[in-house]
Amino acid sequence: MTDHPTANFPDPPYRYPRGRFARYRQVVRILAHHGFGWLLGQLGLSRLLPLHLGIPRRRPVSQHTAAEHLRLAIEELGTTFIKLGQILSTRSDLLPPNYLAELSRLQDAVPPEPLEVIEAQIARELGRPPSELFAEFEWKPIGSASIGQVHAARLKTGEEVVVKVQRPGVESLVEEDLAILRDLARMASGRTTWGQIYDLPGMVEEFSATLLGEMDYLREGRNADRIRRSFAGEPHLRVPTIYWEYTTKRVLTMERLRGIKVDDLPALDRAGIDRKALAETGARLVLKMVLEDGFYHADPHPGNFLVMEGGVIGLLDYGMVGQVDEATRDGLLYLLVAVANQDLDRVIDLGVVGTAAQMERLRRELGHLVATYWGIPLKQIDVARVLEESMGIVRRHLLQLPSHLVLLAKTMAMNEGLTRELDPDFSTAEVLRPYVLRLAWERYLPHQWGKRLIPTLTDLSRLAITLPRRTERLLNRMERGDLSLQMRVQETEHILDVLNRIANRLVLGMLISGFAVALALLIQVYYAGELRWLQGWILAAGMAVVGGLGLWLATNLLRGGH
């Protein structure tokens, strides 16, 4: 058992203030400090600001850009918002390139927890302290992030492992922030135009599921096992073994893989690794995950790839995965064939949501994009650049893409960048074309038709049985005149809210004025006899109340920008 190091560790990471309201005020203060007061005004949260932060309406002079301020604010806000920013850094359909580049720099490295905290967490989760569970346990972590930290260890049976330990109490902090994000998304949807264009509550719920899933180490272990089973006969991929007897929801123990980082090109060359073959292997493995298995590793940055002896790829960190159902995989095959044939109607028929005018403009711009690459040899096509330009078109026209397609596009772009770094002349498109043709041939052979035809016939039979009854009910309601049509007029809620605030301020101003006049008249006509000295105190108290209400009203007017 390795002794505790003698060096003192830094203090544990920042803890949130106690209580939801205190955390709300902290979030609002940090956003205002970095120049996002306009956003707080749109959301109706300016009232939570201290007076000295609520009055200014312009961004203070700073050497940082708006994108840098956003990154700095997110880093200051902590764990949940850092994870949100990292996910937003992949959403090229939502944010412009300068914001994406800045968010991709988000750092999720924090000082490690004190040794006694980690020891207590392991003992609480596994039933015994590390000294009884492991033959060796390195107390100095090899990695430390906001959710957990990683320690090297050795089992008593001799296997080298890494132990991932979740920070105590981080779940409650994340759940508190997720509740605040849900509130903010709901406010934005009811008060802003951009909040109504994008399904912000849905995005927050999806982010919540992703983040909570990443914090469940049992789920991460199951993800690793699933990918290992999918590549059981693949000699060029190594998935670390999960040691389930040493794994819980908050502690994960897995095999330690050793190798060269995939972006350490000089070390790869010294080891005699064929980088071109390595790039082709990486692209082929990702395509198999996406198009064949429908379950893929969704965080393919260089830190998660190790090149082991013989050019074997060791894949790490299975907290973020993506899934592609069979219908979407079919759609992707259609899409790839459509791009090859310049069939734009199929290109935009993959879950893009928008009005008829927006879709027509999208079709026109995609036509220009496809024409740009028409006739260019496959090895000269940069898939990552094509994806980035496509997402830029979607963003300009305020269209919505299914989130699983955005995650897939991000994964493919990251993989393309990684393979290009290994071999500048490599093209994923060259590997993609024969792969897609083979899959399409296998999927649409006649013996596969029966598998697709039976569910379709079942749906048609159910529709044939229920359609007459539904039609009769519809006609009866039309005859009785009780058929109703629900409509939603955008911006109505925001306009009503603004009118309500204006009316409240008018009424409050009238009350303050009336109270001041009544107080003056009362002092003049009222004679208190021996208690005349009390008139001065009544006047002073009344004027203090009137002055306080007036100052409060003026502060709200200044914060509202009116």
Q: What crossing angle do the helices spanning 200-214 and 79-88 adopt, rounded to 10°?
A: 110
Does 195 score more than 60 pLDDT? yes
Query: By mean pLDDT, which of 200-214, 228-242, 265-279, 390-404 is the weakest?
Result: 390-404
Which of residues 256, 286, 320 is at a domain's end?
256
Which pLDDT value is given to residue 299?
82
Q: Closest by alpha carbon to 252, among 273, 271, 282, 224?
A: 224
Which range, of 43-52, 178-187, 264-273, averages the lowest pLDDT?
A: 43-52
* pLDDT of amino acid 61: 44
pLDDT greater at residue 124 or residue 13: 124
Average pLDDT (190-198) is 75
Q: What is the pLDDT of residue 59?
A: 47
Q: What is the mean pLDDT of residues 409-434?
A: 77
More confident residue, 548 or 112: 112
User: What is the DSSP track for 441-472?
Assistant: HHHTSHHHHHHHHHHHHHHHHHHHHHHHHHHH
Q: Are 314 and 238 in contact (CB under 8 A)?
A: yes
> Do 321 and 240 sit in the same domain of this protein?
no
Query: Is the Cα dihedral 418, 423, 427, 430 positive or negative?
Result: negative
Question: Cβ distance 148 to 164 under 8 Å?
Answer: yes
- 400 beta partners: 353
**pLDDT score, position 336:** 60
SS3 321: strand
Q: Are residues 524 and 465 in the same domain?
A: no
Together in a domain, 318 and 366: yes
Confidence of residue 226 (pLDDT cuts 50, 70, 90): very high
In a domain, 326, yes or no: yes
Note whether 176 and 20 are within 8 A (CB). yes
Confidence band of 561 (pLDDT split at 50, 70, 90)? very low
What number is the average pLDDT over the span 70-88?
87
pLDDT of residue 434: 73
CATH no. for residue 129? 3.30.200.20
406 shares a domain with 349: yes
> Does some domain include residue 489?
no
User: Are 142 and 45 in a shared domain?
Assistant: no
In a domain, 424, yes or no: yes
Residues 6+ apart with CB under 8 A from 452: none
Output the CA torsion 434→437→438→444 (10° steps). 180
pTM for the structure as a whole? 0.69
Determine the residue type at 84: L
71 Rama class: left (phi>0) / alpha (psi -120 to 50) / beta:
alpha
> Shortest CA distance to 296 belongs to which of 443, 219, 407?
407
Is residue 484 situated within a structural domain? no
User: For residues 237 and 220, is the Cβ–Cβ distance under 8 A?
Assistant: no
252-279 burial, b if ≥16 CB within 10 A, otherwise e?
A: bbbbbbebbebeeeeebeeeebebeebb
Residues 339 and 377 in one domain: yes
User: Structural domain of residue 205, as residue ranges?
Assistant: 20-108+171-212
Q: What is the pLDDT, as a whole number, of residue 243?
A: 97
- Whether residue 50 lies inside any domain: the answer is yes
Q: Average pLDDT, whole number, for the chain?
A: 77
Catalytic residue list: 299
> Please, which pLDDT band fits residue 562 given cuts at 50, 70 and 90?
very low
Maximum Cα–Cα distance for the chain, whole Å? 108
Q: Are residues 291 and 430 in the same domain?
A: yes
Let me know if 542 is exposed, middle or buried by CB neighbors in 10 A (0-12, 13-18, 19+).
middle
Nearest Cα to Cα of residue 327 among 352, 346, 298, 350: 350
* Residue where the block lists tokens 């980035």: 388
Residue 393: predicted pLDDT: 72
Nearest C-alpha neighbor of 147 from the set 212, 215, 207, 213: 215
Predicted local distance difference test score (pLDDT) of residue 55: 43
Residue 218 has pLDDT above 90, yes or no: yes
How far apart are alpha carbons 408 and 171 in whole angstroms? 27
| Three state DSSP letters for 225-252 | HHHHHHCCCCCCEECCCECHHHCCCCEE
Residues 6 or more apart whose Cβ sits within 8 Å of residue 302: 261, 262, 263, 418, 421
The answer to whether residues 398 and 362 belong to one domain is yes
Pick 204 or 482 by higher pLDDT. 204
Q: Mean per-residue pLDDT for 187-204?
A: 78
Q: What is the pLDDT of residues 278-323, one digit of tens each?
A: 998 988 898 888 888 889 888 887 888 999 998 999 999 998 888 8
d(CA 414, CA 410): 6
293 is a domain residue: yes
pLDDT tens digits along 468-479: 888 878 787 777
Question: What pLDDT was estimated at residue 106?
Answer: 80
User: Can you give the pLDDT at residue 64?
Assistant: 78
> pLDDT of 118-161, one tens digit each?
999 999 999 999 999 999 999 999 988 888 999 999 999 999 99
Query: 320 with 209: CB under 8 angstroms?
Result: no
CB 173 within 8 A of CB 78: yes
Structural domains in the chain (count): 5
**pLDDT tens per residue, range 318-376:** 988 888 877 777 766 666 655 555 555 555 555 555 556 666 666 777 666 666 666 56
382 and 435 assigned to the same domain:
yes
The verdict on 236 and 353 lying in the same domain is no
Please state, as a whole number, how many other Cβ atoms lie within 10 Å of the Cβ of residue 382: 17
Q: What single letter denotes the amino acid at residue 266?
A: P
Rounded Cα distance, 314 and 273, in Å: 14
CB of 477 closer than 8 Å to CB of 483: yes
pLDDT for residue 1 is more than 60: no
Domain annotation covers residue 304? yes
Query: Is pLDDT at 2 greater than 50 in this prediction?
Result: no
Q: Is residue 42 part of a domain?
A: yes
**Predicted pLDDT of residue 225:** 97
Are 186 and 224 in a shared domain?
Answer: no
One domain, residues 87 and 157:
no
Instruction: Please report the pLDDT score of residue 11 as a whole number.
Output: 36
- Using an 8 Å Cβ cutoff, are 217 and 166 in contact? yes
Structure tokens given for 3: 């002794």
